[in-house]
Chain A
Amino acid sequence: MKNENLIQYIYGIADNVLILGQRLSELCGHGPNLETDIACTNIALDLLGQTRSYYQYAAQLSGEGKTEDDIAFLRNERQYKNVLLVEQPNRHFGYVITRQFLFDAFHLLLLEELQNSKDDTLVAIAKKGIKEVSYHQRFSSDWIKRLGDGTQESHKKVQEALDDLWRFTNELFLMTEDDKIALENGVGVNVLTLQEKYNQRIKEVLDEATLTIPETKYFQKGGKQGIHSEHMGYLLSDLQYMQRTYPNMKW
């Protein structure tokens, strides 16, 4: 497999993790209460840590003296390959939890498969990540149940969040050209095969939470090709501000 394809494959996984980590970081000091604030930022920290492992590997593959920071901070919007789901803004806590829940279930399934990759570094990152993401999934599932099966108001808010976010879930299971090349080389995961398990896992929790999956046939996509929603530009201007304003600055 050519390095260039492998790098793109890594971006396809790692950009989701970075962008969701960035969204959760925005809650630092703004969570609904101290415990959930700390939980969301802890999860963000795990995600950003995983991102660093992926980007360090991608930087090493690309050579040219590139660093993890170049990859995180100096690409343009079209070069980020994250799905639309993770860039959606933090509208309210129920929305944050729903977005997290929909991603965690996918993330864990993906890493479980990635453990079987022929690429030793990706296997190492996946194995480390699984331990962390299991906790994330437990946290978000727990909150989905508490909010869904909570008060009328909390139920209404998460159901609305689910109705809004569900249309972004199908994109998680679309194969890009780089995904196909990675799969053919025994490096990548066939995400198509994860969808059934995903739906099953989601439904189990939603049933307990008295929530229902909306009936829609229309799904949004584009992020994997670098075509993002209008929220992405604002997110990146926050994320990249320091490196764009003071190029090459270091801590």
Chain B
Amino acid sequence: MTIELEQHIDPKLISILEKVSDPEIPVLSIMDMGVVRSAEMIDNIAQVKITPTYSGCPAMDVIGDDIIKAFDNANIKAEVSLVLSPAWTTDWITPKGRKALEDYGIAAPLEEDADKEALLGNKRIVKCTNCGSSNTKLVSQFGSTACKALFKCEDCLEPFDYFKCLK
């Protein structure tokens, strides 16, 4: 099924889910990324529903396998399914997740309008994750993964990723 209207996660399962991270951004747990839409025990099986960040995100298959492994380590059988609706948005990244991104060297997403200005190269507002300067330049709207754009700091000259706003 492709639709899961409300997020409902059994609090007892959170500690297990927090051990799983995005393989491309290992500092970010899938809970902080907001991709887990539901997790509950049904007939002694953990039923976990996740939603992709981008349709073609290759990390989803790996995340699915990692969830099953994490539950296996806790001696719980798990099944993972994918839901498409409602579509993931960067608003679901938790404050803790945003901080983890920044510490890792990926600028966290801006608000929608600011994001547009930044990605059209109109305004210099994305802060460098290395030195904090706003004197940064868009290099490419698409970066190393579907969710990121590539920037360069004109002060410290370091390149860095920016996590694009998705609403």
Instruction: Give the interface of A toward B (CB within 8 A).
Output: 35-36, 38-39, 42-43, 45-50, 52-53, 57, 120-121, 123-125, 127-129, 131-132, 135, 138-139, 142
Binding site for A on B (CB under 8 A): 2-3, 52, 54-58, 84-89, 119-120, 139-146, 150, 164, 166-167
- B87 A127 Cβ-Cβ under 8 A: yes
- Interchain CB contact (< 8 A) of B54 among A35, A45, A138, A142: A45
Contact B141 A47 (CB under 8 A): no
- Provide the bound-state CA to CA distance between A121 and B85, in Å: 8
Of all chain B residues, which has the CB nearest A57? B2
Choose from B3, B57, B143 the contact partner of A120 (Cβ within 8 Å).
B3
Cβ-defined contact, B84 with A128, below 8 A: yes
| Least distance between B137 CB and chain A CB atoms (Å) | 12
A residues within 8 A CB of B143? 38, 42
Q: Which of A38, A43, A47, A128 contacts B144 (CB 8 A)?
A: A38
Nearest-Cβ distance from residue B165 to partner chain A, whole angstroms: 10
Measured between alpha carbons, how far is A203 from B27 in the docked complex, in Å? 45
Q: Let me know if B140 and A124 touch, CB within 8 A.
A: no
Q: How far is the CA of A6 from the CA of B12 in the complex (A)?
A: 42
Contacting residue for B2 out of A124, A132, A135, CB 8 A: A124
A142 to B146: give the CA distance in the assembly, Å: 18
B56 near A47 with CB under 8 A, answer yes
A124 to B86, CA, bound (A): 7
Least CB distance, B44 to chain A, in whole angstroms:
27
B78: shortest Cβ distance to chain A, in Å?
21
- From the candidates A35, A53, A120, A139, name the one contacting B150 in the complex (CB within 8 A): A35
Q: Which 4 A-B pairs have the closest CB atoms?
A: A49-B56, A49-B55, A124-B85, A35-B140
A138 contacts B119, CB within 8 Å?
Answer: yes
Asked whether A35 lies within 8 Å of B84 as measured between CB atoms, the reply is no
Instruction: Contact check, A131 vs B146: say whether CB atoms are below 8 A apart.
Output: no
Cα A57 to Cα B57 in complex, Å, equals: 18
CB distance from A30 to the nearest CB of B (A): 16
Could you show 15 A-B contacts with beta carbons less than 8 Å apart?
A46-B146, A49-B55, A49-B57, A52-B55, A53-B55, A120-B3, A121-B2, A123-B85, A125-B2, A125-B84, A127-B87, A131-B87, A135-B142, A142-B120, A142-B141
Residue of A whose beta carbon sits closest to that of B116: A138
Chain A residue numbers with a CB within 8 Å of B88 are: 128
Q: How distant is the Cα of A53 from the Cα of B57 in the complex, in angstroms?
A: 12
CA distance A120 to B84 in the complex (A): 10
Residues of A within 8 A of B120 (CB): 138, 142
For B145, the closest partner residue in chain A by CB is: A42
Contacts of B140 in A (CB 8 A): 35-36, 38-39
